Structure 1
Amino acid sequence: MTTTTAPRRGRPGYDRSTLVAVCVATFNRHGYDATSMGMLAAELGVSKSAIYHHVSSKEEILEMALGQALDALEAVLAEAEQLDESGAKRLEKALRSTVQVLIEQMPQVTLLLRLRGNSPVETAALQRRRDITSRFGRIVESGQKDGSLVTSQPPRRIARLVLGMVNSIVDWYRPGESAAEPAQLEESILRLALDGVLAER
């Protein structure tokens, strides 16, 4: 005789951060728009009302996850901007730290990179992402002015190209499954990204 386990009622056996992590993995697997609260409840093994004990809506989960990724990316970029170094050195610091954030928060960053802007939360997150790109562009521009970076391409284009390389990590890198260790991956990306934009001395 087959027995079916009903979803647990009441308070779920998750704290808020763990619940969000499981939901983010589900969003990435099925797509945010296609994921219902019922699907999240099934994934968590709890009732929908148990999820509402921690969050008010699916969109609040999205906002929390995106905030984690964007806050971390903005924080490491701010550190790079404050360095009393050449534009090239600040770009290296910004890229290195961004790679680290992507590896450490890959599920949240993956969700961020797949946004389509279908809600106010998504639109706000996309604006913050554009602002990050603009700030990278200003670092590149400062490097072009101080002679440490090439001037053959507009700064914003360079920023988009190097960030595109960094962001591609979420499409193919799997920690624990890929041959490259995080530190090796970080160095490989830095060399590939920077070798094309560093000014010759």
Structure 2
Amino acid sequence: MTTARRDTYTPETLLSVAVRIFNERGYDGTSMEHLSQAAGISKSSIYHHVSGKEELLRRAVSRALDALYAILEEPGGRRGRAIARVEYVTRRTVEVLMAELPYVTLLLRVRGNTKTERWALERRREFDQRVSDLLKAAAEDGDLRADVDIRLATRLLFGMVNSLVEWYRPQPGGGPEEDQLAETVVRLAFDGLRTGAGGPHGA
């Protein structure tokens, strides 16, 4: 019976529980005892899978970061005019946020109090800088309005996308609103930033 119990409790299910508790209590406010109670297994069983809660944090934020950085390597994030690439990256970032909501939420809430948190913050800044560079390139191409400050536009774009973790909650089976969310974010942001009125998105 003990073996069967251990086999059914995987590192992935443990990570899922840990991320939920980290998001509810905050990473600093979570103890191994909290994780043990939430998972319904002993602390020694947790240590069988990981060295401690910081390893769980590292695995969780790595999952979010890997998904975000993968966007930059997709064809839509690498090819074409900068304006099309930054719209693509924005759209896919929203999609990743919806798909990996607990993990991205945790990433956006790390404070930098541990080595893992500082590493995650630095990686997140690097990703944000890559997107910012695309916006700057689009402006240099003449595809963004000259009367809009790019630094301000970048902050507003990140603010809009990142705020989704505070209110977005997936619905069972999805729905039309969920399917349209990423496209709506792109249109709200770039219809006001593009030179001229509108224009084909992702062209």
Normalised by the length of structure 2, the TM-score is: 0.88
Show the counterpart of 2:10.
15
Gaps of 5+ in 2: 198-203
Q: Which one is further off, 156-165 or 57-66?
A: 156-165
Conservation of the 8 A alpha-carbon contact between 1:103 and 1:175:
yes
Please tell me whether residue 115 in structure 1 is matched to residue 110 in structure 2.
Answer: yes
Output the CA distance in 2 between the equivalents of 1:55 and 1:12.
15
SS at match of 1:147: coil
Show the counterpart of 1:44.
39
1:90-109 to structure 2, matched below 5 A, reads 90-109=85-104
Output the CA distance in 1 between the equivalents of 2:34 and 2:67.
28
- 1:137, distance to aligned residue in structure 2 (A): 0.9
1:10-89 to structure 2, matched below 5 A, reads 11=6, 13-79=8-74, 80-83=76-79, 85-89=80-84
Conservation of the 8 A alpha-carbon contact between 1:69 and 1:108:
yes
Output the CA distance in 2 between the equivalents of 1:30 and 1:165.
24
Show the counterpart of 1:183.
179
Show the counterpart of 1:137.
132
Residue by residue, what CA displacement relative to the aligned partner does 1:104-153 show, whole Å, maximum 9, x if unpaired? 00000000111111011000100111111111111011111111112334
Percentage of identical aligned residues: 46
Give the counterpart letter for 2:25 in structure 1.
H
Give the counterpart letter for 1:64 in structure 2.
R
Please tell me whether residue 197 in structure 1 is matched to residue 189 in structure 2.
Answer: no
Give the counterpart letter for 2:132 in structure 1.
G
- 1:73, distance to aligned residue in structure 2 (A): 0.5
- 1:179, distance to aligned residue in structure 2 (A): 7.4
Instruction: Point out the structure with the larger helix share.
Output: 2
Output the CA distance in 1 between the equivalents of 2:106 and 2:67.
14
SS at match of 1:53: helix
Give the counterpart letter for 1:54 in structure 2.
H
Output the CA distance in 1 between the equivalents of 2:176 and 2:112.
33
The total of aligned residue pairs comes to 192
Output the CA distance in 2 between the equivalents of 1:24 and 1:77.
25
Q: Which one is further off, 191-200 or 32-41?
A: 191-200
Q: Which one is further off, 66-75 or 169-178?
A: 169-178
Q: Which one is further off, 135-144 or 73-82?
A: 73-82
SS at match of 1:152: coil
Conservation of the 8 A alpha-carbon contact between 1:12 and 1:50:
no
Gaps of 5+ in 1: 1-9
Please tell me whether residue 157 in structure 1 is matched to residue 147 in structure 2.
Answer: no
- 1:182, distance to aligned residue in structure 2 (A): 2.2
Normalised by the length of structure 1, the TM-score is: 0.89
Conservation of the 8 A alpha-carbon contact between 1:133 and 1:160:
no
Q: Which one is further off, 135-144 or 176-185?
A: 176-185
Residue by residue, what CA displacement relative to the aligned partner does 1:3-50 show, whole Å, maximum 9, x if unpaired? xxxxxxx83741111110111011101111101000000000000000
Conservation of the 8 A alpha-carbon contact between 2:148 and 2:193:
no
User: Residues 170 and 110 of structure 1: is their aligned pair in 2 closer, same or farther, counting only changes over 3 Å?
Assistant: same
